[in-house]
Structure 1
Amino acid sequence: MYTFESRVRYSEVDAEGKLPVPGIIDYFQDCSVFQSEDLGVGVQYLKSKNRAWILNSWQVVIERFPLEGDLVRTSTWASGFERLFGLRNFTMKDENGAMLAYANSYWVYMDLETGRPVKASPEEIAVYAPEPALPMEYAPRKIKLPNSWEEKEGLKVPKSWIDSNHHVNNSQYVRQAWNELPLYTNIQQVRVEYKNSAKLGDLMIPRISVEEERIVAELCDETRKPYAVVEFKIKK
């Protein structure tokens, strides 16, 4: 298990002074990057091999949103490797050890030259020293789509959304979906299914469906082919 400590910054919080879902995902993503860097298999290592771990899906469960100024401990570990998938768990706890949020995620190891998935080598798997999976109620990778959508105004991808892989960063899809929610929506879980990578200047069109217990956002290109599907489970 790898852990880092941080304090929630004012620049990270929402209108209620809480670290929102996209911010929690940023912490989780940063934690996984920090672990890989410290193990010697980080961004530059992957770049030298024309490889990348591409996020396929998230399931993030919220127990309590951390507040501005809170000390949080974010942890991650590899919980298994299945065929072409690598699985990662995450936790975020407060300074007293109480659970704030936890997650499961699926990653695909990609050959950037061919654009196709490849198996990680035994050495690349062993370096992560996989540990037992987090006890939680696991949801499927695939998100069930609603029957109808309300389409919102699209926007072109700005450079601030682009990461070192030269496409839209994983958390930005969640942030754009979250931006379409009503203010003060009480979220208890978010699931994300990534389908295609958006790049600088691409048009991204949000489509929203509001149901009794969930809000689903589909972020699409101009042909309505989805980049990502985001499902928010709502607390009543």
Structure 2
Amino acid sequence: MEYKSFFEEDKNIFHVQSNIYFSQCNANKDLSLHELLKITSDIAVEDYRQRGMSRKILKDNGFGILVSRCSYRIHKWPKENQFIEVETWEEKPQALQFMRGYKILDENKNILVSGKSSWLLVDINERRILPLKKFTLRTPPEFCIDLDCDKPDKILQPEKSELWDTRIIKFSDLDANGHTNNARYAAFVEDAIPEEFRGRKPKDFKINFAKEAMLNDKVEIFGFKEENKITFLGKTPESVSFEAVISY
């Protein structure tokens, strides 16, 4: 089968066709949560690259764009060996955050996953968040597309939670930004899921990134489980690293 990538005519909606491969699936033969983050993060980066804003060009201008929050609704889990078409588009910015939407479709254009994410503009030299008006490499979009998924907003933490897992950040967890890749945090979440939930299929997944974990950092993952929801908190000794919630 031939896979294509293309921009929808007269729109800034970027499409990438692909396959769900064996290595991207969990023990249930479903697309894993960390691979879902990889797919959506990578298509966002590629969308910008094809519009003339590669990571190198961003770096040359002193910019970095880091994912802040993600929210996904899984209408039907992508499966091993399934054809998919992933769509992404940049939406009207909100306050200090770029906004982006996603759809993952099957070969018949049925929606499998819908999602939204927010991203921060940072000064890579001073490591500080910048106002979006500083980003003049493109004209910001003025539209939003309604999707059947939660907003990528704040995750409320329960008053009590238990220590479920501890991770030491290794070299293979890092990306070219020098800190833990965003998709790795979803893998940390997956490994901390209590056994009685592992055979269940999540309907919603949200993850928020607070402070990047660095090489050799110890990340403690705390959790709180309810009947149809699990809430996670990842902490280094210095600060909160990430938060996540899975709803069933």
Q: CA deviation at 1:162?
A: 0.6
1:154 maps to: 166
In 2, distance between residues paired with 1:43 and 1:185?
Answer: 37
Q: Tell me the TM-score normalised to structure 2 length.
A: 0.88
In 2, distance between residues paired with 1:35 and 1:130?
Answer: 17
In 2, distance between residues paired with 1:197 and 1:64?
Answer: 31
Q: 1:123 aligns with which of 113, 127, 136?
A: 136
Count of residues paired in the alignment: 232
Distance 1:130 1:201, change over 3 A: farther
2:50 maps to: 38
1:19 partner letter:
L
1:232 maps to: 246
Determine if contact 1:8/1:69 at 8 Å carries over to the other structure: yes
Whether 1:222 and 2:242 are equivalent positions in the alignment is no
In 2, distance between residues paired with 1:74 and 1:93?
Answer: 6
1:79-228 map, 5 Å: 79-120=91-132, 121=134, 123-126=136-139, 129=141, 131-139=143-151, 141-181=153-193, 182=195, 183-223=198-238, 225-228=239-242
In 1, distance between residues paired with 2:142 and 2:90?
Answer: 5
SS at structure 1 position matched to 2:137: helix
In 2, distance between residues paired with 1:55 and 1:140?
Answer: 11
Determine if contact 2:73/2:149 at 8 Å carries over to the other structure: no
Q: CA deviation at 1:129?
A: 4.5
Q: Tell me the TM-score normalised to structure 1 length.
A: 0.92
Where in structure 2 are there 5+ consecutive unaligned residues? 1-12
1:111-157 residue CA offsets vs partner (Å, 9 max, x unmatched): 1122221134463341x645432333543611110111110342210
Where in structure 1 are there 5+ consecutive unaligned residues? none
How many percent identity over aligned positions? 18
Of 103-112 and 135-144, more deviation after overlay is shown by: 135-144
Q: CA deviation at 1:43?
A: 1.0
1:161 partner letter:
D
In 1, distance between residues paired with 2:24 and 2:92?
Answer: 31
Determine if contact 2:17/2:84 at 8 Å carries over to the other structure: yes
Q: CA deviation at 1:26?
A: 1.2
1:10-46 residue CA offsets vs partner (Å, 9 max, x unmatched): 1111111111222112111111011111111121111
2:5 maps to: none
Determine if contact 1:78/1:130 at 8 Å carries over to the other structure: no
In 2, distance between residues paired with 1:124 and 1:173?
Answer: 30
